[in-house]
Amino acid sequence: MSLDHNLPRVLIVENQDSKLALPQRLAAQGWQLVVQKLDQLDPSQWPGIGLIHIPGQEAHEPLAPVTGALQKGSYIALCGKEALNSSKIQTLIRTAFHDYCDESAPTQRFAHTLERLLSETRPRFDALPPPSLILGSSIAMTELRHRLSTYGHSELPVLLLGESGTGKECAAQWIHHHSSRREHPFVALNCAAIPDTQFSTELFGHETGMLNGEPQKRAGHIAVAERGTLFLDEIGDMSQTSQATLLRFLESNCYTPVGGKRERQADVRIVCASNHNLHEEVRTGSFRLDLFHRLNVLSLDLPPLRQHLEDIPVLAEHFLHHHQPPVTLDESAMSALMCHDFPGNVRELRNCLLRAAVNNRHGLIRSEDLGLEEPVRAEPPTQSLSQYRNRQESQYIRQCLEDCKNNVQEAANRLKISRSSLYRLMEKHHIHLP
C-alpha cells in the first residue's frame, strides 16, 4: 500500500540482524511505517518521528552517522535490556534521543510514546485522531481503515451502515480527520433524539427578533460545522417530516434559520449513519427513496465484532491499558470473549471489560468475572463458513487443552495432530498457556 502523506509516518531503523515484531504490531494500530536498515538509510524518506533500534552494547558505534541528523528530528530509542544497562548507550539516549522504550514493552506503550512525541513536535497533526482509534489487524479492519482514508479525500456524502457499537461514529471521525476539512469542526447530531418540531431549529438555528435590544440568535448544527463535517447519526429514526426537511436542504445546500429572513449557503460535508437496514426501510416506505439516493453516494458496511473476533486481544489490551491498578485477562476470560457473540459489538466488549476491571481485586480477570450472558442473536448468522469454522476450531482447541490440563502433547494426541501443528494453531488463535 502506498504511503498517505496526510498521515504521520514513523521511521523504524532496524539493525541488520534484528527481527522486530514491532512494525507489524504498530501497523495493526493504524501507524504508517517506513522501515529501513541502519546501513541503508535514505534520509529523503525520513519522516520527523521514529524509533531507532539499539539491540545491544555493540550497536552504538554504527549509530554515529545518524546521531547528527537526529537532533533535527525526534526519535525514540528502542532498546533491548542489554543496551539499557550500558552507560555509553544511556549517554547516547540522553543526548540524542527524545525518549526510549524497552523493546519488550507492550505495543500500546510504543503507540502512546509516539502519540505524545507527535503532539509535541508536529502541531500540524494536532487535528488528527490518535492513529489507534480504529484498532484491529483483521482483514476487515485493515480494509475499513483504507476505505475510510480514501473517502476522506472526497467531498461526496458517506453513508455508514452497521449494527450498534460497530464504530460508525469512530469511522465518521476518521473520515473527517483524513479530509482537507480536518482543521474545521466535526459536529455530530443524533437525529433519533430530536423531536420533529425541533429538527429545523437544531439543523438551521433560529433568529427570533430582538429581546432587550439584543438580537436573539442561536446557531444550528450546520453553521457550527461550517467548513467541517456534519455527522448525522441514527438517520433511520427520522420522521417523514424531518426527512423532508433534510432532503430540501441537501438539494440546494442552502438554509434559512428559523425565524430568519436571509438564506445562507452551507459549506459542510455530510456523513451519516444508521443501524437500521435502510434498504429494507426504503422498500417498506418508511425511509424516502430520494433521500436515500442523496445520502448513499459513498457507503460502507461496518462489520459486527463476531465477524472479526481475531481483533479481540488487541481491543482488550487497548481498553484495559489505562486501568489502575493494572489488570490482565486470564486464559479462561480470553477464551470466553473469543466465544461470545457480542450483539452490542465493540461497545459491549469495552463495557464488559471495564466493568470486570472495576470489580476486580486480584489484577486478573477470569471468565466468571465477565458476566457474559448467553448470546442473544440480533440477526440471523452472517459469518462466512470459514469464519464459522475458525471459531469452532478455536473453541475446540481451548476446550481440549483445558481437559488435558494444558499438556500440549496430550492435547495434540487427542486431536490427532502433531505437537508442532498444535503450537501453530494455538498461535493462530491467540491461545497462550498460563
Minimum distance from residue 134 beta carbon to ligand ATP (Å): 4
Amino acid, single-letter form, for residue 224: V
Give the distance, in angstroms, between the CA of residue 119 and the centroid of all CA atoms in the same chain.
18
Minimum distance from residue 302 beta carbon to ligand ATP (Å): 6
Cα 145 to Cα 131, 301, 350: the distances in Å are 10, 12, 20
**220 touches ligand ATP (CB under 6 A):** no
∠ CA 59-64-68, rounded to 5°:
140
List 22, 49, 54, 170, residue binding ligand ATP (CB under 6 A): 170
**169 touches ligand ATP (CB under 6 A):** yes
Which residue, 92 or 302, is less far from ligand ATP as judged by CB? 302
Minimum distance from residue 233 beta carbon to ligand ATP (Å): 6
Number of H helices, E strands in the chain: 18, 16
Question: What is the C-alpha separation between 218 and 257, in angstroms, rounded?
Answer: 9
List 50, 167, 304, 343, residue binding ligand ATP (CB under 6 A): 167
**187 touches ligand ATP (CB under 6 A):** no
Instruction: Report the C-alpha dihedral over residues 364, 370, 371, 374, rounded to 10 degrees.
Output: -140
Phi-psi region of 285 (alpha: psi -120 to 50; beta: other; left: phi over 0): left
Give the distance, in angstroms, between the CA of residue 327 and the centroid of all CA atoms in the same chain.
22
**395 touches ligand ATP (CB under 6 A):** no
Residue 279, beta-bridge partner list: none
Instruction: Candidates 1-9, 41-49, 128-136, 210-218: pick the segment binding ligand ATP (CB under 6 A).
Output: 128-136
Question: What is the C-alpha separation between 85 and 81, in angstroms, rounded?
Answer: 7
Instruction: Candidates 63-71, 103-111, 167-175, 382-390: pick the segment binding ligand ATP (CB under 6 A).
Output: 167-175
Residue 329, beta-bridge partner list: 365
**321 touches ligand ATP (CB under 6 A):** no
**DSSP state letter for 303:** P
Interacting positions 334-373 with ligand ATP (CB under 6 A) = 346-347, 350
**430 touches ligand ATP (CB under 6 A):** no
The CA-to-CA distance between both ends of the chain, in Å, stands at 37
Number of residues counted as binding ligand ATP (CB under 6 A):
18
What grid cell was written down for 369?
Answer: 468475572
Minimum distance from residue 239 beta carbon to ligand ATP (Å): 19
**135 touches ligand ATP (CB under 6 A):** yes
Instruction: Candidates 46-54, 168-176, 224-232, 371-379: pick the segment binding ligand ATP (CB under 6 A).
Output: 168-176
Convert residues 60-99 into a mask of x (bound to ligand ATP by CB under 6 A) and - (unbound).
----------------------------------------
Residues lying near ligand ATP in the complex (CB under 6 A) are found at 134-136, 141, 162, 164-170, 233, 275, 315, 346-347, 350
